[in-house]
Amino acid sequence: MTQDTTQQAETKTKKAPVEVVAVEMEDGRTVEFSGKRGMLKEIVLDEQAGTASVRFDFRNGQTLTAQVPQQHLLYAAAHGYAQKLGDEVAGMKGEDNAPASDEDKVLAIDALHSRLQSSDDWNKVSEGGGGVSGASVVLKAIMEVSGKTLLDVKAFIEKKLADAAAKGQKLTRAALYASFRNPTSKTGVVIARLEAEKKVKAPAVDADELMGELG
């Protein structure tokens, strides 16, 4: 391959920068549209009035603000919350890139719900993510070693994360769970056993019962 051919191939693989167009809206604001996006949505809250609205901005400069009707406000809130929590486990993977277990999904949604209860930042992304593959096994191991209940263990985990955040330490949920997987630790030994037990498939039939039939 010649140098010119190499340069042409490299040029083809480089993505062109996304075009950003600044549009003056009919209400005087300037809004930036990137790529081919023709519409932007923004949530507008008026805490004093107790109203919630969605503002739609269009590339042609038009804008429309739709206030959530009072009689639908609670349902809209629940709908949005359901979407937020559900998105946390959409496409979540477990071991060997298999679909995550129901137990891990429950823990992921519960972790996000706990974060939102203690934070006013709706859009903040949890460091390391709330959905951690194998989280349910880790918690079971901690419960077995400590003799504590699931509620106690979950409270302990949340406190460790909150304490680290308060100290400015970047301790992610994934990193914390990984520490319990240390194979030389008590929890690591239990985790290895639990995961091995999960991989053992139950026999299709009882071998002893078959031998009894054979006589």
Q: What is the model's pLDDT at position 128?
A: 43
Q: What is the model's pLDDT at position 43?
A: 95
Q: What is the model's pLDDT at position 12?
A: 57
Strand 51-58, strand 39-46: pairing: antiparallel
114-117: Cβ within 8 A, 24+ apart = 114/158, 116/84
What is the pLDDT tens value at each position of the chain, 215 positions in all? 555 555 555 555 677 788 999 999 999 999 999 999 999 999 999 999 999 999 999 999 999 999 999 999 999 999 999 999 999 888 887 766 777 888 888 988 988 898 888 778 888 755 444 567 788 899 999 999 999 999 899 889 989 988 998 898 888 888 999 999 999 999 999 999 998 887 766 666 777 777 777 76
**Where do the structural domains in the chain lie, given as residue ranges?**
99-215
Nearest to 145 by CA among 188, 186, 196: 186
Q: What is the model's pLDDT at position 31?
A: 96
Q: What is the model's pLDDT at position 188?
A: 95
